[in-house]
Structure 1
Amino acid sequence: MTEPQNSAAPAAFRGIWPALLTPLDADLSIDHAKFAAHCKSLIARGCPGVTPFGTTGEGPSFSMAERKEAIDQLIHNGVPASQIMVSTSCAALPETLELTRHAVNAGVHGCLMLPPFFLKGVSDQGIIDSYRYVIDGMGSDLPKLKLYLYHIPQVTGVPLSHHVIATLKKLYPQTILGIKDSACTTAHSVGLAEAFMKDLTLNMTVYVGFEPDLPELGRRGSTGAISGLANFMPRVVNRLVTEPDAPATPAERERIIQLLGLLEGYSLMPALKGIMAMLTGDEAWLRVRAPLVALTPEQFKAVKTTISAFGIDSKSD
């Protein structure tokens, strides 16, 4: 294993990097042209970058070959590599390492990484060792890696404790720049902010995936987010975290809470794809990979009715 790094870490990302929905062709392969167009549309609406293959993007449902090809195609189709953050999370560590090395050598901004998520009840030391396997495995490419730890225990069943985060940050201060907390618990996110953002010498940023918590974290120094709702509401999501005390923020936060409430009766990723299908007029967005199940025609009709009444304005949202 490598020796602990000693010098200060570079700056973490700022702004909203949407957790991209992944468009699919009729055979459920990735629609590369549509994927790139979606990325470029979001960047044109003010997003500094985009994040493919996270939870919202059904990342673990795609093979290593598919994910590498998708990143290559995004870059080939005009999405700047420096404006891409790749979720390289896999259950198998060698695959996580391979995807991470590929992303770094493609020139992306950084990588978002879950702990291995197949085995449950693993120890903190096992989680630390898992991240060390990937980070140390980067070899001479390690100085190019910017890594964001990804905590979403309700999905993975493998939480990241403060001890794990602090140990990895101490070992790799130049590499680990932040934490994405998608536990959707305000107290947990605030606890991470208190532990890792108060001490400015740590150079560590906590980002939340649960949009209603963005103002609270913005007040504590968070500078952005990786957000699923930002696929179609990037501006309002950005304002929640960058303007937490603006006069309009409470109303915009309540609007986000209302939207999430409207989607509670659906599986979230198919519902988000339903909103994309409605807003673009392209029902191909409805397609998902198993084990997810696409909205039925009746469900899609209901989503269209509900979201039309709610109202999403592409100019302000």
Structure 2
Amino acid sequence: MKLEGIFAASVTAATADGGVDLKRTAAHIRSLLAGGCHGVALFGTTGEAASFTIAQRQATLDHLVQEGVSPDRLLVGVGLSARDDTLALATHALSRGCRQLLMLPPFFYKGVSDAGVIAAFTEVVDQLPDEARVILYHFPKVSAVPITQPVIAALRERFGPKITGLKDSSADLEHTLTMISAFPDLSVFPGADQHLLRTLDAGGAGSISAAANLNAPGNRAVFDLFKAGWQAEALDAQEVVTAVRRAVEEAGPLIPTIKALLAARLQDPAWRQVRPPLCAIDDPASLEPIMAALAKAHTKV
């Protein structure tokens, strides 16, 4: 069956000395699952993955599983520039029962060919067991290494169901719709949850989004209403989701803003901590406009 649903691209709670705050991270992920997410993407871009070591990421996953988070509800970010680092993360995740692997292409060298991207993914996926399921992570704004249709087609031809999905973080609705049309048996997830309903209607799989950290129930409502055939109600729910996304994007840098809003919601200043080069939002007054916008969108913060 195709993977589908609402997945939060989870933020990662950080400590002042540069570590992962395991307790707060686990509590947040449990709240996302309880709040309507089918699952959580761990250590993606929103999770500041590049700012944590392989050992820190592995220890975080170990802690989550030990704390009772079901491995089949985790999409584990594993894509790094070195093949063996990606394999280390992927193999560890699989050993903990996590089959779904969210994989960036190697992203240090820019202007590489499709053939090079195919070769890089092939070196990794060739060494994964049959039960592994790879979600290709297309985020050209950050990685500067696009995952094109020829790349997807070549990998699907070689690996079949091991290439199970695509996270399209281009924020380009037409691009996402084109990918859904070109690969109808692939689970295509937009990262932009303002596109959730349009892509569901076109055959998309749901969403993997940062704003779901703040509005998981709203995203889930769109998904459930669409699946139930309540189109008018789904459209109303989508308007709320879109308003939340726009408010978050307009407030400032995405990850520090989400963390600052969580700190306000939970009355827990430790949540404002981010890893450099990101900078924390320490001025509560700066949050007032977005908190008002979120309240207007019927979202408690």
Q: Normalised by the size of structure 2, how large is the TM-score?
A: 0.92
Alignment of 1:204 with 2:186, yes or no, is yes
Q: What's the offset of the Cα at 1:13?
A: 2.3
Q: What's the offset of the Cα at 1:25?
A: 2.0
Quote the sequence identity (%): 33
Segments of 5+ residues of structure 1 without an aligned counterpart are: 1-10, 198-202
CA contact (8 A) 1:223 1:241 kept: no
Change (3 A) 1:212 1:87: same
- Indicate the residue corresponding to 1:134 in structure 2: 124
- Indicate the residue corresponding to 2:243 in structure 1: 258
| CA shift digits 1:93-149 (9 cap, x unpaired) | 2111110111011101310001111100000000000001111123xxx11211100
Higher strand share: 2
| CA shift digits 1:221-265 (9 cap, x unpaired) | 223221111112112112334434632333433333333333324
Equivalent residues in 2 for 1:139-178 (5 A)?
142-178=129-165
Alignment of 1:188 with 2:175, yes or no, is yes
- Indicate the residue corresponding to 2:258 in structure 1: 272
CA contact (8 A) 1:24 1:287 kept: yes
State the alpha-carbon separation in 2 of the partners of residues 259 and 84 from structure 1: 24
Aligned residues: 296
State the alpha-carbon separation in 2 of the partners of residues 122 and 169 from structure 1: 20
State the alpha-carbon separation in 2 of the partners of residues 148 and 303 from structure 1: 34
- Indicate the residue corresponding to 1:289 in structure 2: 275
Match of 2:9 among 19, 39, 56: 19
| CA shift digits 1:57-95 (9 cap, x unpaired) | 011111101101110011111211122110112122211
State the alpha-carbon separation in 2 of the partners of residues 259 and 231 from structure 1: 11
Q: Normalised by the size of structure 1, how large is the TM-score?
A: 0.88
State the alpha-carbon separation in 1 of the partners of residues 182 and 81 from structure 2: 28
CA contact (8 A) 2:43 2:77 kept: yes
Q: What's the offset of the Cα at 1:305?
A: 4.7
User: How large is the Cα RMSD of the aligned pairs?
Assistant: 1.9
Letter aligned with residue 92 of structure 1: A
Letter aligned with residue 258 of structure 2: L
Q: What's the offset of the Cα at 1:310?
A: 2.7
- Indicate the residue corresponding to 1:303 in structure 2: 287
